Amino acid sequence: MSNKHGHQARKRFGQNFLHDPGVIERIIRAINPKPDDALVEIGPGLGALTEEMLGVNPNLQVVELDRDLIPVLRTKFFNYPNLRIHQADALKFDFGELVDEKPLRIIGNLPYNISTPLIFHLLGHSGVVQDMHFMLQKEVVQRLAAVPGDNNYGRLGIMAQYFCRVQPLFEVSPGAFRPAPKVDSAIVRLVPHKVLPHPAKDYKLLQAVVRTAFSARRKTLRKALAGLVTVEQLNSIGINDGLRPENLGLAEYVAIADLLADSKPESHRGDEVSHD
C-alpha cells in the first residue's frame, strides 16, 4: 500500500506506518521529549513521530534500514539541518557510538519480525541508555512485563527485567497504522536500573541457564536443567527441583547461575557460553 509520499510499505522490513494523530500525540506525551535530550529513533518510517519530536528537539538522530526512505525523510525535514540520519540495520548498529555527554533516550515503532532480537541487542547497551519507549506487538509487551506463573513469562521477560524496569503503557489498535497489521500493538517503557537488583557473577552463564530452562518449559527444573545442574545443587540453594521453569523468578535464576559460576574452574569462567 503506497501513501502520499509514494513509498510502498515493505513486507520484508515489517513496515506498518503510524498515521493516527491521537495515538501519535499520546506516544509523544508518554515520551515527554525535552530540547536537550539525546533522542534516538529507530525505524522512523515516514516520520510521523519524528516530526513531533523534531518540533521539540532539532538534534534528533534516527536509524533507518530502508535506503529508499532516506530521501523521503531528508526532503520532509530539510529545514532541520541538525537531524542526523544513520542508514543502518539497528540489529547490528553500535548505539554506543551515538553517546556524547547524555545517556540516550531511544524510541521506536519496531518491526514485529525483529523486535525480540533488537531488544536483546539494545539491552546490551543499557549502560548508556536513560530510557526506551517502543511500539511492539501486544504479546511481546506482555512477555516483557510477565511475572513468574504467567503464560507469557519466559526468557525475554527475565532478561529484560535483569536490566530494566518494564512499564506497559497503553494498547494501540491496528487501525492506527497503514497498512493495518493483523495484531494489536502496545507501547512499553523500559528504564535501565541504575543498580542491577540481582547482578549475576557471570552474565553469559545466566543467559545459558535461562535459555536452557525455557527450551523445556513444560518439564520440571530437574529435567530441564539436567545438563547444567544437579538436583542436589538446586536443593542446596533452596530451589525445589520439582518446579517448572516458569515458577522461578529472576533472583532464583541468578542464584543458579552464581552457583555454577562458583563451581567452575576460574580459567574457563564464561568462555564456552555463546552470546545471544
Known binding residues for S-adenosyl-L-methionine are 16, 18, 43, 64, 89, 109
DSSP codes, 156-188: HHHHHHHHEEEEEEEEE-GGGEESPPSS-EEEE
Q: Is the dihedral of CA 145, 151, 157, 158 positive or negative?
A: positive
Burial-class residue 22 by CB neighbours within 10 Å (0-12, 13-18, 19+): exposed
> By the 8 A CB rule, do 42 and 108 touch?
yes
d(CA 56, CA 35): 5
The one-letter code for the residue type at 65 is L
| CA–CA separation, 211 and 207 (whole Å) | 6
Half-sphere exposure of 64 (CA within 13 A, CB side): 21
Torsion angles phi and psi, residue 89, rounded to 5: -85, 115
* Neighbour count for residue 159 (Cβ, 10 Å): 22
**How far is the CA of 142 from the CAs of 10, 63, 89, 207, in angstroms?**
26, 26, 26, 20
Which residues, in sequence order, are bridge partners of residue 6? none
- List residues forming the annotated binding site: 16, 18, 43, 64, 89, 109
